Amino acid sequence: MPLLINLRHVEADDVRLKGELPTEELELDIHDEMVQLGECLHYDVQAQRIEDGLLLQGCLTLPLKCQCVRCLKPFLLQLELDQWTRLLSLAGEDTVPVVNDCVDLTPYLREDILLEIPQHPLCKRDGCGLPKASVGSTHDTSSGDSELSSSAWDALNKLKF
Ligand SMILES: [Zn+2]
């Protein structure tokens, strides 16, 4: 099921969409062996009918299993668009497709998620994503994900997305 919003519901009042969308629905065309998608996109979006349009604001979260392009170690990256905003036009030339009073939000999620997926994922180890100069001062943040061993993939695979 794609993510649909019924315009008649939004007409009456703001609508909050919250849930999970299987990543297959996004049909993200990723041919990057360094990045694998988690199972679900989590969304928590407020939809508001405004003049000639539909305003979407909220948070999108997608777990990614990445492989660091520098040290080749696997790591988990939580892709978060916590201030996602999208304005869909319901009048004029750019009107979005409406079928049975519903707008399919999936294509817009797809576009914006695709833009955020890292092309060259880097873990936070010294010499990878973490700038060398700040290694000493960011001790607290980097200690959490230190030492991903060879069993890291097992650990990642056990995680439920
Ligand atoms: Zn690395």
What is the DSSP secondary structure assignment for residue 126, as one 8-state letter? B
The Å distance, Cα 68 to ligand 1 centre, comes to: 5
Contact 109, 3 (CB under 8 A): yes
pTM over 0.85: no
Number of H helices, E strands in the chain: 5, 7
Q: For residue 44, give every residue at least 6 positions away whose Cβ sits within 8 Å of its Cβ, in sequence order, or none.
A: 16, 17, 18, 58, 59
The Å distance, Cα 13 to ligand 1 centre, comes to: 47
The Å distance, Cα 15 to ligand 1 centre, comes to: 41
The Å distance, Cα 120 to ligand 1 centre, comes to: 11
The Å distance, Cα 131 to ligand 1 centre, comes to: 12
Residues in the chain with pLDDT values less than 70:
132-161
The Å distance, Cα 158 to ligand 1 centre, comes to: 21
The Å distance, Cα 49 to ligand 1 centre, comes to: 44
pLDDT at 129: 80
The Å distance, Cα 44 to ligand 1 centre, comes to: 31
pLDDT at 134: 47
The Å distance, Cα 126 to ligand 1 centre, comes to: 8
25-50 per-position pLDDT tens digit: 999 878 788 999 999 999 999 999 99
- Closest by CA position to 23, among listed 135, 115, 113, 155: 113
pLDDT at 147: 47
